[in-house]
Amino acid sequence: MNLKLQIWRQKNASTHGHFETYEANDVSPDMSFLEMLDVVNEGIIDRGEDAIAFDSDCREGICGTCSLVINGMPHGGHRATTACQLHMRHFTDGQTVFIEPWRAKPFPVLKDLIVDRAAFDRIVQAGGFVSVRTGGTPDANAIPIPKEDADRAMDAAACIGCGACVAACKNASAMLFVAAKASHLNTLPQGKVEKDRRVLGMVAAMDKEGFGNCTVTGSCEAVCPKEISLDFIRQLNGEYLIAALKGK
Average pLDDT, the chain: 95
The number of folded domains in the chain is: 2
> Model confidence over 178-200: pLDDT tens digits?
999 999 999 999 899 999 999 99
**Same domain membership, residue 82 and residue 52:** yes
Sign of the dihedral defined by the CA atoms of residues 132, 133, 137, 138, in that order: negative
Residues 57 and 91 placed together within one structural domain of the fold: yes
Say whether pLDDT at 125 is over 70.
yes
**Average pLDDT in the 46-60 region?**
96
The residue segments making up the domain with residue 85 are: 3-111
CATH code for position 138: 1.10.1060.10
**CA quadruple 126, 58, 87, 93: dihedral positive or negative?**
positive
Rounded-to-integer distance, Cα 159 and Cα 216, Å: 18
Query: Of 111, 141, 157, which residue sits at a domain end?
Result: 111
Same domain, 94 and 161: no
pLDDT (tens digit, 9 = 90+) per residue, 14-24?
999 999 999 99
Do 194 and 139 reside in the same domain of the chain?
yes
Tell whether the model's pLDDT for residue 135 goes beyond 80.
Answer: no
Residue 60 shares a structural domain with residue 102: yes
**Considering only CA atoms, which of 140, 240, 147, 130 is closest in space to residue 191?**
130
**Whole-number pLDDT of residue 248:** 56
- Could you tell me the pTM of the whole model? 0.93
From 88, 111, 134, give the residue that closes a domain.
111
Confidence label for 144 from pLDDT (cuts 50, 70 and 90): confident
| Contact (Cβ atoms closer than 8 angstroms) between residue 24 and residue 36 | yes
